[in-house]
């Protein structure tokens, strides 16, 4: 049993990398989601086209291909990225494209009377979005954002293939060193599931916090 403790520590070190990657990727994805989601609703056609091109491109190609492209092809254009940077970039941009559609859908689902109220209060477009529309839309986005974050966590396993020592990579190291397969892979499956449970628990808590006092106002 003693030897497993050492290997478990190796896997836990990988778990830290996985969690770091998930947090940083989610932060980038959140920024991209709002930029592209609001961009798609812009009055200016070029902004709409740019946002649509971004969303279709990153949703249309596989995360795996994007990651390899960022890691192996970008250096040929003079941008050399560390595996962690390439991982955060690919994961954030990929999941951001999916989340952008969530942002767009939530903003569009806000009723017309809210926009009319903004006009009545003499808000400009930005003020209306900032103070009236987004606070209501954000609550609607949260549950899907939680699912997106779990998708990002799952996709982060792919970075092990560009030699970033995340949880999956460490499990492969343990497999290579011990020849045991059940222990490392079962351990990381359980750890991934535990992290996913924490994410959905946190999102549900945040949702409860943000909707406090709204019962009965919105169905």
Partner 1 sequence: MEWDWAFVIQILPTLIEGAKITILATVLGYILAAIVGLAIAIVRRSKNKLISRPMGFVAEFIRGTPLLVQLYFIFYVLPDLGLTLSPLVAGVIGLGLHYGTYTAEVYRAGIDNVARGQWEAAKACNLNAWQTWTQVILPQALPPMIPALANYFIAMFKETPLLSAITVLELMNQARSIANYNYRYIEPITLVGAFFLVISLISVVGLRWLERRYGRID
> Which residues of the shown chain bind partner 1 in the complex (CB under 8 A)?
56-57, 59-66, 68-69, 72-73, 76, 150, 153-158, 160-161, 168, 171-172, 175, 181-182, 185-186, 188-189, 192-193, 196-197
Distance CA 180, CA 188 (A): 14
The contacts of residue 44 (CB under 8 Å, 6+ apart) are none
Q: Are 159 and 89 in contact (CB under 8 A)?
A: no
Of 106 and 153, the one with the shorter C-beta distance to partner 1 is 153
Of 31 and 189, the one with the shorter C-beta distance to partner 1 is 189
- CB 146 to partner 1: min, Å: 12
- CB 182 to partner 1: min, Å: 5
Of 26 and 160, the one with the shorter C-beta distance to partner 1 is 160
Of 42 and 172, the one with the shorter C-beta distance to partner 1 is 172
CA angle, 26 then 85 then 90, to 5°: 55
- CB 108 to partner 1: min, Å: 15
- CB 195 to partner 1: min, Å: 9
Distance CA 112, CA 135 (A): 15
Instruction: Select from 217, 218, 58 the least CA-distant residue to 152.
Output: 58
- CB 130 to partner 1: min, Å: 29
Of 48 and 175, the one with the shorter C-beta distance to partner 1 is 175
């Amino acid at each position: 049993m003693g030897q497993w403790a050492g290997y478990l520590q190796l896997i836990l070190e990988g778990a830290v990398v996985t969690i770091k990657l998930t947090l940083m990727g989610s932060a980038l994805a959140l920024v991209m989601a709002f930029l592209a989601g609001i961009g798609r609703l812009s009055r200016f056609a070029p902004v709409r086209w740019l946002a649509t091109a971004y969303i279709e491109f990153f949703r249309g190609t596989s995360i795996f291909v994007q990651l390899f492209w960022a890691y192996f092809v970008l250096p040929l254009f003079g941008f050399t990225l560390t595996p962690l940077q390439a991982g955060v970039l690919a994961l954030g941009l990929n999941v951001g494209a999916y989340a952008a559609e969530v942002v767009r859908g939530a903003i569009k689902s806000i009723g017309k009377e809210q926009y009319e109220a903004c006009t009545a209060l003499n808000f400009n477009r930005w003020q209306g979005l900032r103070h009236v529309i987004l606070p209501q839309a954000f609550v609607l986005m949260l549950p899907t954002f939680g699912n997106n974050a779990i998708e990002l966590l799952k996709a982060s396993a792919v970075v092990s293939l560009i030699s970033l020592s995340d949880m999956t990579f460490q499990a492969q190291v343990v497999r290579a060193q011990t020849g045991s397969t059940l222990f490392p892979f079962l351990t990381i499956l359980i750890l991934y599931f535990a992290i996913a449970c924490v994410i959905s628990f946190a999102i549900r808590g945040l949702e409860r916090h943000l909707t406090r006092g709204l019962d009965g106002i919105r169905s």
